Amino acid sequence: MKKSIGVVSLLLALTLAAYAQDEYVVVNDFEYEIGSFTNWASDSGFTFPEEPRHSGEAAAFINVIHEGGWTPSIYTFDTPFDARNADEFRMWVYSDQPFRLRADLEVEIVMGFRNYTPDDVGAWKEFVFWISEEQSKIWEDALEAADQLRFWINPSAETHDGVDYPNGFTGLLYMDDMSIHMREPVEREYKTIIGFNDEADANLVSLANGTYFEIMTTDNPEPTEGDGFLLFDYTSGWNENFTINLKDYPEILEYDRIHLDLLIEQTGDWASCSLLLRASWTDADGNGRGTGWATLGEYIVNHARGEEWEELSGQYGPVDSEGFTLNWLQDELSGVFDDPDGTISLTIITQGGESYDLALAYLDNIRLSRPVGTGVGEWALY
Ligand SMILES: [Ca+2]
Ligand SMILES: [Ca+2]
């Protein structure tokens, strides 16, 4: 952390006595334990001495035969590890061809894609995945003894930053030196912006695909804030459920994270929820600016809980972490409030197993947060 905020740093240091700065824990260096891979990882094992390795005497080789599509390979560690306080998952990869790899920790913690480009071919590259604090809270029990990764490789042909990635992968992939970085806990302060306690809040919501919503004032279930919430129909298909206008809340620029509470009246199946920020504005030179389609996070909702509120959040302000890929976002949000025609919104996408089709769901307390005592002007977290 490069910034100097004396008091906060001191408080931080006291709070974090148990955590060393930049504490990394190696979870597999592939010297003694290989673990197991399924599906498209058709064959795997320790490397032979003449093959690539990143550290020590050995790495893992994986013989990949995958024709594309969303088929995962599940990697199971021989020795589970405690990932409850991890904010990064890191792994080194090597290949003779470009690819995109998505990793999900303990299956439920969606960590997103990382790319191995044509310039990376023939060299070891570290993939750094960011893990949000709220995802860790939802899946705390599972993370206490994490032992699985779910890998998706080239599920479809894609172009990113001008680089074409193929549909599917056939060839050799090497992995080595998986590690986690321990989170340095930071106390946050919150500001509610939309409480859904008043019918007028319905004017902020617009439907994309015609699913139902209404504002309700009731104590069943108990709202997490005030006396009302937004009720809506969850869906089984990948559905852009609704969009919430944030143009009336310029204070979003003074915070770095947006949160909401979600409760789904359904258990026993799977469900996921994605949060997207979209902004559009025109700069002084007449250039169109904005975020396009910025995914703040994709969350596998904890179906085992049912009928309990879960906190989802998305970080849009800068974070001092290689694994956080949205450090450009704050600038694209700030222009919105200088342009009378600028727009900014939060879109909520839901998806789930069959039993989730039209399941009742509730949303409450859209709020912002930031580290206590840290004004946005003092941010130097890049
Ligand atoms: Ca090794
Ligand atoms: Ca409320």
DSSP H or E run through 77: strand 73-81
Give SS3 for 292: coil
Distance 39 CA to ligand 2 centre (A): 45
Q: What is the pLDDT of residues 126-175, one digit of tens each?
A: 999 999 998 898 899 999 999 999 999 999 999 999 999 999 999 999 99
pLDDT of residue 118: 96
Lookup result for tokens 């998706």 = 152
Q: List alpha helices for the chain, DSSP H.
A: 6-15, 133-138, 140-143, 329-334
Question: How many H helices and E strands in the chain?
Answer: 4, 25
Separation of 182 CA from ligand 1 center, angstroms? 21
Bond before 221 cis per omega within 30 degrees: yes
What is the pLDDT at residue 301?
86
- Give the Å distance between the CA of 98 and the centre of ligand 1: 22
Hey, is 33 helix, strand or coil?
coil
Centre of ligand 2 from the C-alpha of residue 197, in Å: 5
Enumerate the domain spans of the chain: 21-182, 188-378
Give 121 Cα–ligand 1 centroid separation in angstroms.
19
The CATH label, of 3.30.43.10, 1.10.10.10, 2.60.120.260, 3.20.20.70, for the domain at 21-182 is 2.60.120.260
Please tell me the distance from the alpha carbon of residue 360 to that of residue 232, in angstroms, as a whole number: 6
pLDDT of residue 49: 95
State the pLDDT at residue 322. 87
pLDDT score of 150: 97
Ligand 2 centroid – CA 376 distance (Å): 27
Give yes or no for a contact between 106 and 113, defined as CB atoms under 8 angstroms apart: no
- pTM, two decimal places: 0.88
Q: Is the dihedral of CA 280, 284, 288, 293 positive or negative?
A: negative
Q: Could you list which residues have their CB under 5 Å from ion ligand 1?
A: 29-30, 55-56, 176
Q: How far is the CA of 177 from the centre of ligand 1 (A)?
A: 6
What count of Cα atoms within 13 Å lies in the side-chain half-sphere of residue 283? Answer: 9
- Which ligand has an atom closest to residue 30 CA? 1
pLDDT in tens, 214-241: 999 999 999 999 999 999 999 988 888 8
Residues 6+ apart with CB under 8 A from 10: none
For residue 240, the model assigns a pLDDT of: 83
Let me know if domain 188-378 sits in CATH 2.60.120.260.
yes
Asked if domains 21-182 and 188-378 share a fold, the reply is yes
Distance from the alpha carbon of residue 263 to the mean position of ligand 2, in angstroms: 13
Query: Which residues are CB-contacts of 161 (< 8 A; sequence separation ≥ 6)?
Result: 115
Would you give the DSSP letter of residue 252? Answer: G
Distance 365 CA to ligand 2 centre (A): 5
CA of 139 to the centre of ligand 1 (A): 29
pLDDT of 9 reads 43
Q: Which residues of the chain have pLDDT under 50?
A: 1-19, 381-382
Q: Residue 41 is encoded by which pair of tokens?
A: 């990882």
Are residues 342 and 336 in contact, defined by beta-carbon separation less than 8 angstroms?
Answer: yes
Q: Rounded to the nearest 10 degrees, how much is the dihedral formed by the CA atoms of 360, 364, 370, 376?
A: 110
The pLDDT score that the predictor gives to residue 374 is 67
The per-residue pLDDT for 339 is 95
pLDDT score for 376? 60
- What local confidence, expressed as pLDDT, does residue 50 receive? 96
pLDDT score recorded for residue 379: 55
